[in-house]
Structure 1
Amino acid sequence: MAVVKLYQSDNFLVVNKPYDMYINSDDENEKNTVACHIAKQDSHRSKSAHPLHFVQRLDYSTSGVLCMALNKTAAASAGRLFEKRLTNKYYLAIVRGHLNFEICDIKYPVGSDQTSPDSSHKMLALTEATRSLCGSPRSAETRFLVLESGYYEDNPVTVVLLKPLTGRRHQLRVHCSAIGHTILGDYTYSDRQDTSPHRMFLHATRLVLPLPKEPLDIQTAEPFFSDSRFTSKWTPLAKKYSYCDKEDFIKVCDVIHQINEIRENYKLFI
């Protein structure tokens, strides 16, 4: 699958990362990486004198907006925004099940899953049930907005907008699993049970970086409903918000910030 450029300047390169692709690898024989694909298109990027600085990370199974700095100064500038939590990241996901709320905050800390091998890097949300199993938990917060409900292969699913307020490893996947609504196609956090979908349905759709000299607001097209492998198995039920057009997606991004206006359908997981 192609790595599509969404934006490029002297300081930054932003691409649409495909699902099931690493961003980079220490294994020189691993070619299924964003870094390798970019090097094929721009040969001088394969040289150590012109490295790519990944200012954010996306899991192997996650697709969407991925930002890289092209020099150390730009990397430091973007890094400070992430450290101070001044960026805004918005993800589309499809989760298993139907939900009894419209918006929620998930504030379970996230740490390592002590029941898994160290090599798996599997994480776990800290709840009353997992207190003895979650290693070195750190605070984590995700906001979750219901967009549309339906069925996938006759099983209930829900399209949601996710906004991470922190950036822990696998945070969105872990938080969705912790509230009983695992992301469709998430092999790892479904205990290796969810194998029928062709991909994991998590996509980084919009990234806002308020850089002082080069503010970025980068968005991809909606990725799921343009894929016949999904739509051939999808049956709609109820839509709460329009979100497939770029203008509509910006509007639902605004909605997810307006928590006080829809408090009656709000739920807190803590």
Structure 2
Amino acid sequence: MNQEYLFEVSPKDEAKRLDLFIKEKFPELSRNRIQALIKENYVLVNFKPSKASYKIKRGEKIKILIPPDKEIDIQPREIPFEIIYEDEDIAVINKPSGIVVHPAPGHYEDTLVHGLILKLKNLSGIGGKIRPGIVHRLDKDTSGIMLVAKNDFAHKKLVEAFKERLIEKTYIALVYGRLIQKKGKIETFIGRHPVARKKMAVLKEGKLAITFYEVLEIFNKASLVLAKPVTGRTHQIRVHFSYIGHPILGDSIYGGLKHDLFKPPRLMLHAYEIFFKHPRTNEAMKFRAPIPEEFQKYIQILKS
């Protein structure tokens, strides 16, 4: 059964966005869930459907119906990814571009998790039913290396190591334009975009984000770079290179679709290398995910 709530907009809430008003009332709901409720007309303003960006007015009645969570039954499924390394505690895998890591609103099927359940015998349970084994994520269109926890002991240790910034990740990216400075550090504050809620942005009130980079090769209108994020903010590398005027090629969200270059086959960002200490043995480990074929072919196009 749906849970039903009715609010009247007070003077202090006037002119707030509808989605932000709901988030304040229901902090446990994700932004994606709130957007979906509004889109599917579970939220009514003066008993009429509205938009997430609508600025609410004093005295308006806001009715919110919250349906029960969709029961997700994740069945093992053949999903294309490579297992680079595996032992009793962890797996290191290579995720292709175009695959969502775990089920989420709008994408419940054919995720990496469906494939992990099929190929790996054990996965940690701390992430819950929809995120078994997942200790960090890659964006859907980013390819490359990921760490997976096969039990709760490894999960806790790896999450702690990420939190303490003890796990080093290196990405390879193709960015627009000629990056003249061969090495650099991008340091900003990143937060949720105030209007386009699916985007991140450089904001004063955001969280500290640091990315080091090194230019590997410069082409006519693009540069091949190594990027090392110190922090792990959502979309961090994509936001940072866009911020300095060199968006990642193929990035439709942060300005990486350029008409003066041959269209890239995908987002040109690849998680290339990971360095960490094994959660049980403390052994230093380093793994690389080869640069995908379509990525290499596009580099050859830029060279020619």
Give the TM-score range, shorter chain.
Answer: 0.7 to 0.9
Q: Aligned partners of 1:82, 1:96: CA distance in 2, in Å?
A: 30
Q: 1:35 aligns with which of 113, 119, 124?
A: 113
Residues 114-263 of structure 1 correspond to what in structure 2 (within 5 A)? Answer: 114-116=194-196, 118=197, 120=198, 122-126=199-203, 136-151=205-220, 156-190=221-255, 196-211=263-278, 213=281, 214-223=283-292, 227-228=296-297, 230-231=298-299, 233-235=301-303
The CA deviation string for residues 69-91 of structure 1, in whole angstroms up to 9 with x for no partner, is 01111011111111111111100
Kept in 2: contact 1:51–1:70 (CA 8 A): no
Q: Aligned partners of 1:46, 1:70: CA distance in 2, in Å?
A: 5
Q: Percent identity?
A: 30
Kept in 2: contact 1:8–1:14 (CA 8 A): yes
Q: How far off its partner does 1:193 sit?
A: 6.2
Normalised by the size of structure 1, how large is the TM-score?
0.73
Normalised by the size of structure 2, how large is the TM-score?
0.65
Are positions 1:24 and 2:93 aligned together?
no
Q: Aligned partners of 1:29, 1:3: CA distance in 2, in Å?
A: 18
Q: Aligned partners of 1:59, 1:172: CA distance in 2, in Å?
A: 11
Worse-superposed segment, 72-81 or 192-201: 192-201
- Residue ranges of structure 2 left out of the alignment (5+ in a row): 1-78
Q: Aligned partners of 2:106, 2:181: CA distance in 1, in Å?
A: 47
- Asked which structure has the greater CA Rg, the reply is 2
Q: How far off its partner does 1:222 sit?
A: 2.4
Kept in 2: contact 1:143–1:165 (CA 8 A): yes
Are positions 1:65 and 2:130 aligned together?
no
Q: How far off its partner does 1:150 sit?
A: 1.3
RMSD over equivalenced CA pairs, Å? 2.8
Task: Return the structure number with greater relative CO, CA threshold 8 A, min gap 6.
Answer: 1
The CA deviation string for residues 43-74 of structure 1, in whole angstroms up to 9 with x for no partner, is 77699899732111111111000111011110
SS for the counterpart of 2:140 is coil
